[in-house]
Amino acid sequence: MSGVSAVVRPPSNNPPSSFRSGLFINNTPQSFIVPHGGFVTSCFLSATALHFSSTHASLNQPHTITLHLTFLRRTSVGPARFSIGDVKLGRRTSTVHVSLIQDNVECVVGYLTQSNLDTESGVSLKTGWSLHPPPLALSSTTQTLKREGGDENWVRSVGAHPGFRKASQRMKWWVPRKGQLEPGMADEWICWADGQRFTQSSLGVVVDQFPPVVEIYPGPASASSGHDRHREGIGERKRKKKPDWYPTIVLNLDVKKALPEEGVEWLFVRVRAKEIKNGRMDLEVVVLDEEGKLVAVSNHVCLILPSERNIERIGKRGQEGGGGSKL
């Protein structure tokens, strides 16, 4: 397996090969800061795109179609290096192994498969799939949402604990005005707060930027509904105004569509958990464009931890008890 070290420009206006404090989880001194997992994912997409536009330009495979990441250790503010190894190079698809390295330790590892979504051809069949329940319709337009802050069905949200989850403030969110449609599910319309447009590399941020389904869960209900004990332990923390942390262990991404080269301003996201149990949950994230066309599907495995676990000082990486582990 050949190895290439890539220095990439993250999907923002930050200097290359450096995680800065604009997209992170907490609001503590920099030695405690953990970059947002979606931002890290987008950096993997950017690094791989750079690899294929330079080292393998002749393959004409500019688009990541699948991504699988395992988050081994917490990343931190500062320089990061991406080591890329060619696993299989082919005419239609190619696969690489990518490692994110900080302080000479692997923090995140993944496999990404490249292709060309603009030239793909082959069997295409309608499946009848759709989101259920159907998302609430826009009673206006996305531009009206931005101009007036909402419409009959959608309202602007700043998200929970914005001081802790500062990365969420890089986007503007609109959520159902009367609350989410079902427990364990969240719908949103999103756009960048600074007017940027969503591109292929920013899909990593998109699929990891949504209202935490645990915190928007409905309040205790009757035993017949089955939800009366759904917030054991978390309810007390909520009363004390303590946020929780939802570190991703594994993130998968299946890209269905190439966004326009100039990007798009708006995307719709639905996130849904099938089971939340014993401090662990799965998440399925579906991304649609303004026309309702499927852009990407992502699946996560996450833990539910007190926020204190996020802001513990990170010791020497790789040493037991040193805090080098992501969790």
pLDDT of residue 130: 95
Per-residue pLDDT of the chain (327 residues; tens, 9 = 90+): 344 444 444 444 333 345 443 333 334 333 334 577 898 999 999 999 999 999 999 999 999 999 999 999 988 878 889 999 999 999 999 999 999 999 999 999 999 999 999 999 999 999 999 999 999 998 888 888 888 888 899 999 876 555 545 556 688 989 999 999 999 999 999 999 899 999 999 999 999 988 888 887 654 433 333 333 344 445 554 555 567 778 899 999 999 999 999 999 999 999 999 999 999 999 999 999 999 999 999 999 999 987 666 555 545 554 433 444 444
| pLDDT of 81 | 92
Most distant CA atoms of the chain, gap in Å = 62
Q: What angle do CA 272, 168, 240 make, to 5 degrees?
A: 80
Distance from chain centroid for Cα 3: 27
How many Cβ atoms sit within 10 Å of the Cβ of residue 120? 13
- 3-state SS of the chain is CEEEEECCCCCCCCCCCEECCCCECCCCCHHHCCECHHHHHHHHHHHHHHHHHHCCHHHCCCEEEEEEEEECECCCCEECEEEEEEEECCCCCEEEEEEEEECCEEEEEEEEEEECCCCCCCCCCCCCCCCCCCCCCCCCCHHHHHHHCECCCEEEECCCCCCCCHHHHHEEEEEECCCCCCCCEEEEEEEECCCCCECCCCHHHHCCCCCCCCCCCCCCCCHHHCCCCCCCCHHHHHHCCCCEECCEEEEEEEECCCCCCCCECCEEEEEECCCEECCEEEEEEEEECCCCCEEEEEEEEEECEECHHHHCCCCCCCCCCCCCECC
What is the value of pTM for the model shown? 0.82
In the prediction, which pLDDT does 229 show?
A: 39
Residue 165 contacts residue 210 (beta carbons within 8 Å): no
